[in-house]
Structure 1
Amino acid sequence: MIALKAPSAVPALVLAYFAYYGVLGIFIPYLGLFLDGRGLSSYDIGVLLALVTATRIVGPSLWALVAERQGQPLRIMRLGAVLALLGWIFSFFDQGFWLLLLGFASFSFFWTAILPQLEVTTFHFLNDNTSRYSRIRSSGSLGYIVLVMAGGVLLQSLGTESLPYGAALLMLLLIGSLFLLPNIAIASQPEERSQGFGPLLRQPVLWCFMGAAFILQMSFAPFYAFFTLYARDLGYSGIETGLFISLAVLAEIVAFFWMGSLLKRRSYRLVLGCCYGFTAVRWLMLAFLAHSPLWLAISMLLHAGSFAIAHSCAMQFVQHYFPKALRSRGQALYAGFIFGGGGAVGAYAAGILWQDGLGATQTFVVAAATALLAMLLALCLPAQVHPPVSESATDR
């Protein structure tokens, strides 16, 4: 067993992941309902989500560069969380599309300062122990599932306008948890500082991995943007929708808990290829079988592979590919390009295809074809990945 550097950090890390993903448990599933309640069309929702998500393309890298130079990831996380809350306050006011865009864009940009640095900080405290990471990360899934269920009840009883206030309370909890973490300074060694980021970016294996993940994230956009509206149109109540989403996250929690042992000595090509293939099947089930509660529940269970296992494998790829001194920028590149770029392109396309629900089936079919393309690209990856730039300067 690898000893922790700071055992007292673990409860605060658990709380931070719980609160961070708790915010997303309110924001992601129910944002479509909230925006629909504000009178926006599916095209408006797609455009707004695309523009907001686009702020995540450059945000993570900018924050990572500052964190890398300062060696103070906690300072960056705390600043980002406070400013994200200030941006979120704009959503309290019903003043039309442009104020929502300003508020959500500000929130999203500052929110990008948190997760990459939280991942780097967690791996630092755990001495890169991926098994311990997966178990701590599962607290984020727990936060997501609790708030998804609570959100379904809240929105059904109090209406969609309760969403901004619930999310703001979770942000305050997140800010508190970040200030509970012990201060750390992550300083790179002289030989690590001599390495460049550029050579890593010129490797085909990186862009094969990034391209597959980018395309997969595009396929998730209809689910993230419109699933609650889709479920409502199929006749499911808000509480039933929350239970279906919670089932997906419960499967995610179980997968995260066993991730460390599952990924040992497994090839990236095999794991990602299978996960992306399951995702294509999942979207087809949503397209044609979602009217059946049983088949909808089964499709939600596939979230264990399409997100939890795929995400853990991606995190392991980043940890193996980038030297320690460059992992913050590696995490930021992944977050910005995949969740920012892939999410923005997917959200814009989904907004056009959805047609206020008339194009729901076709949209999920396109998402399935997109996930299948991601699977084919993932199958081009090598079984194992080794850093093309050695962590020793003498290897350059």
Structure 2
Amino acid sequence: MALLSARPALALAYFTYFGVLGIFVPYLGLFLDGRGLSSADIGLLLAIVTASRIVGPNIWAWVADKTARSLSVMQLGAVLATLGWLSSFADLGFWPLLAGFALFSFFWTAILPQLELTTLNYLNDDTRVYSRIRTAGSVGYIVLVMLGGWLFERYGSEFLPLSALLFLLLLVLTLFMLPKVTLATTTPEHSVRFSQLIKNSVLLRFMAAALLLQMSFAPFYGFFTLYSRDLGYSGSQTGLFIAIAIAAEIVAFYFAGSLMRNRSYARLLGICYGVTVLRWLLLAELAANLWWLSFSMLLHAGSFAIAHSCAMQFIQQFFPKHLRSRGQALYAGVIFGGGGAIGAYASGLLWQDGAGARLTFYLAAVLALAATLLALSLPRQQGLAVNGAGS
């Protein structure tokens, strides 16, 4: 029997899932650097690991659709990801580390798309309530980022394996506490094929914009902690910078549902992507100044939180209910998998152990600018995207 009712349980699931990422994402670059990897090796490892997210979500979505057991898919993914993470405890060189992280990442992809789908279906697509439940994930992230900065200063980069494992185990426990949420299902009046929808020009432009934006995030996700260290900031200061970004994200997620109501998702996406251009330019030019760096972190509210909420709204509106699982998987695989992998590999080549940091962030700004222009080309009216009507 589930120990919690649906809404608190879903909030706790987001909290623990993103709590794990709060340890893993910001400090993985420092961990790999501590293991003796060059920036090119780090970029290659992150690219290959991230590439597993291209196929992973689609495979798990197919399993979830065939079995109608999204909760079981999430639970299995969390257990297997935890087992894959155990490889990080052994320092056996680049290739064993790569294999272990690739397994971890592949199984990890089973969780979030099904969690997003389950939450939005349970809430009947109420984006206001969704945004507030999703806020719990940002809280988990900020708590673990702050803790990670303190642990790094105290124990060095090898704090990562055990710390992440403890919260992975907490995530597994949380997912087994979730009640079984019955997904709303409807029989479509008109047969709409997934293969037809993915050729839609509106969807293609939306995906291209999101892909470019995700590529622009790669140097921040992969190398910001190293960048901050090279600029002379301490581990606690780095954790605080990231915490500022997540605090802004929390506020933005809380109000995202109200902000998006009766507003054009295209215009909001364009603004959010444009803010991201400014954010990367500030990191390239003014990151040595504590106040400008802190201000750039506040822009995370738009460049991630509002942008992500708009993207989730688009997916839910564009795909009919019986195709939303595959729509979520497509978005997660192409954007976070493909965009993240390409961006990570390119960033690793350009970074040059810190010598190419400014150039890398300048190019990230160019990618974000291209994403902005594509977003602004999308239809102004949300109704054009509903269930692929834009075709």
- The answer to whether TM tops 0.5 is yes
Return the match for 2:334 from 323, 333, 337.
337
Task: Measure, in 2, the Cα distance between the counterparts of 1:388 and 1:227.
Answer: 36
1:90 aligns with 2:77: no
Task: Measure, in 1, the Cα distance between the counterparts of 2:324 and 2:383.
Answer: 14
Q: Shift in Å at residue 386 of structure 1?
A: 3.7
1:250 aligns with 2:247: yes
Task: Report 1:185-334 matches (<5 A).
Answer: 185-186=182-183, 188-191=185-188, 194-334=191-331
Task: Measure, in 2, the Cα distance between the counterparts of 1:391 and 1:296.
Answer: 41
- Give ranges in structure 2 of 5+ residues lacking alignment: none
Return the match for 1:79 from 76, 81, 86.
76
Q: Shift in Å at residue 188 of structure 1?
A: 3.9
Kindly provide the amino acid, as one letter, of the partner of residue 213 in structure 2: L
1:125 aligns with 2:122: yes
**CA offsets per residue over residues 229-272 of structure 1, 9 Å max, x none?**
00000000000000000000000000000011100111122101
Q: Is the 8 A contact 1:276 1:374 kept in 2?
A: yes
Partner of 2:381: 384
Q: Shift in Å at residue 36 of structure 1?
A: 0.1
The two structures, once aligned, show a CA RMSD in angstroms of 1.8
**CA offsets per residue over residues 59-86 of structure 1, 9 Å max, x none?**
0011011111211110100000000000
Task: Measure, in 2, the Cα distance between the counterparts of 1:46 and 1:259.
Answer: 33
Change (3 A) 1:309 1:37: same
Could you say what secondary structure the match of 2:382 adopts? coil
1:354 aligns with 2:334: no
Partner of 1:375: 372
Q: Is the 8 A contact 2:317 2:386 kept in 1?
A: no
Q: Is the 8 A contact 2:145 2:239 kept in 1?
A: yes
Task: Measure, in 2, the Cα distance between the counterparts of 1:363 and 1:258.
Answer: 32
Task: Measure, in 2, the Cα distance between the counterparts of 1:255 and 1:190.
Answer: 35
Kindly provide the amino acid, as one letter, of the partner of residue 149 in structure 1: M
Partner of 1:106: 103
Deviates most, 192-201 or 209-218: 192-201
Task: Measure, in 1, the Cα distance between the counterparts of 2:164 and 2:190.
Answer: 39
Which structure 1 residue ranges, 4+ long, deviate > 6 Å from structure 2? none
Q: Shift in Å at residue 139 of structure 1?
A: 0.4
Q: Is the 8 A contact 1:71 1:185 kept in 2?
A: no
Task: Measure, in 1, the Cα distance between the counterparts of 2:302 and 2:258.
Answer: 15
Deviates most, 341-350 or 60-69: 60-69
Task: Measure, in 2, the Cα distance between the counterparts of 1:159 and 1:391.
Answer: 50
- Equivalenced residue count is 388
Q: Is the 8 A contact 2:318 2:388 kept in 1?
A: no
Task: Measure, in 1, the Cα distance between the counterparts of 2:179 and 2:252.
Answer: 29
- Give ranges in structure 1 of 5+ residues lacking alignment: 1-5
Q: TM-score, normalised by structure 1?
A: 0.95
Task: Measure, in 1, the Cα distance between the counterparts of 2:51 and 2:212.
Answer: 15
Q: Is the 8 A contact 2:200 2:388 kept in 1?
A: no
Kindly provide the amino acid, as one letter, of the partner of residue 313 in structure 1: C
Change (3 A) 1:189 1:367: same
Kindly provide the amino acid, as one letter, of the partner of residue 362 in structure 1: L
Could you say what secondary structure the match of 1:334 adopts? helix
